[in-house]
Amino acid sequence: MMEKRIAGTTGLFCLLGSPVGHSGSPAMYNFSFQNQGLDYAYMAFDVKKEGMTDAIKAIKLMNIRGGNFTMPLKNIAATLVDELSPAAKVVGAVNVFVNQDGKITGHITDGIGFVRNLKENGVDIKGKKLVVIGAGGAATALQVQAALDGAQALSIFNQDDEFYARAEETAQKLATAAPDVTVHVYPLADQAKLKAEIADADILVNATVIGMKPYDDQSLVDPSFLRADLVVADTVYNPLKTKLILDAEKVGCKVAPGKGMLLWQGAAAYELFVGKQMPVAEYQAYEA
């Protein structure tokens, strides 16, 4: 019962961003706190970029223990927190923060969730060659984490838009942060190159908005480029299976859809919040 759950001692975690009303995070974290008997609560607050300086002060003043930043705050958060995890530093974005005695550390768990989702599907990223289509927020986070976790090569494709330069920037940063990883950036319009790069890759990833509603009838990969021993992952989680994932299943590929990445990035955040594993199986059973 709420009046017994929330007391004077209850520590607060929060989601900051705009909009936040649709987020599943409050339900997932409040379920987990209750399930583990932890005296914490999680609330969402609609905060825009111009409110961030005040929000950071409020987190410290009110001793908010930690939480998440979502759109449009992930990049500005990286400039305002006191410390950054190694991945957050390279990515230049923060989706998780932990407040320890007034010092806020920013982390990025999207890439951790991506790598864990592969692992849950029996795929170890170490030594693998990835072809990643996309260079936005999700793409950059997973590219950096894959490199830090020992992938052997990354071939990044993006269309000719403002994100292309971000891919080149990621390649440059990884040359220092993960010098053993071979990183190339190619235009998505070069379909012959895409076909050739997929041909000797282990893992193909779509990290663009294509596949997501209203682009859910589209895929950026010609099904003839796929083969049964290729692992195919998507960051898109709505729909649960994108056209790319469905095409890959038809060919017999092992697949890792975006819902798992979403779940595991949230579970990684929970571990940073409370130092315990999230009760993932219990939450999935509750959610089903």
Binding site for ligand NAD (CB under 6 A): 110, 113, 134-139, 158-159, 161, 163, 207-210, 212, 220, 235-237, 258, 261-262, 265
* Residue 278 beta carbon to ligand NAD: minimum distance, rounded to whole angstroms: 14
Q: Give whichever of 45 and 163 is closer to ligand NAD, judged by the CB atom.
A: 163
The residue type at 251: V
Q: Give whichever of 204 and 210 is closer to ligand NAD, judged by the CB atom.
A: 210
* Residue 201 beta carbon to ligand NAD: minimum distance, rounded to whole angstroms: 18
Peptide bond into 223 cis (omega under 30): no
Catalytic residue among 74, 129, 173, 241: 74
Active site residue 103: no
Q: Give whichever of 58 and 237 is closer to ligand NAD, judged by the CB atom.
A: 237
Question: In this structure, are residues 131 and 107 in contact, taking their beta carbons and an 8 Å threshold?
Answer: no
**What's the rounded Cα separation, in Å, for the pair 62 and 79?**
21
* Residue 162 beta carbon to ligand NAD: minimum distance, rounded to whole angstroms: 8
* Residue 22 beta carbon to ligand NAD: minimum distance, rounded to whole angstroms: 12
Pairing of strands 254-256, 83-84: unpaired
* Residue 173 beta carbon to ligand NAD: minimum distance, rounded to whole angstroms: 17
DSSP secondary structure string, 17-74? ESS-TT-SHHHHHHHHHHHTT-SEEEEEEE--GGGHHHHHHHHHHTT--EEEE-TTSH
> Under DSSP, is residue 253 helix (H, G, I), strand (E, B) or coil?
coil
Q: Give whichever of 165 and 199 is closer to ligand NAD, judged by the CB atom.
A: 165
Peptide bond into 72 cis (omega under 30): yes
Q: Give whichever of 41 and 154 is closer to ligand NAD, judged by the CB atom.
A: 154
**235: exposed, middle or buried (C-beta count within 10 Å: 0-12, 13-18, 19+)?**
buried
CB proximity list for 159: less than 8 A, separation 6 or greater? 187, 188, 189
Q: Which residue is nearest to ligand NAD (CB)?
A: 136
Residues that are catalytic: 74
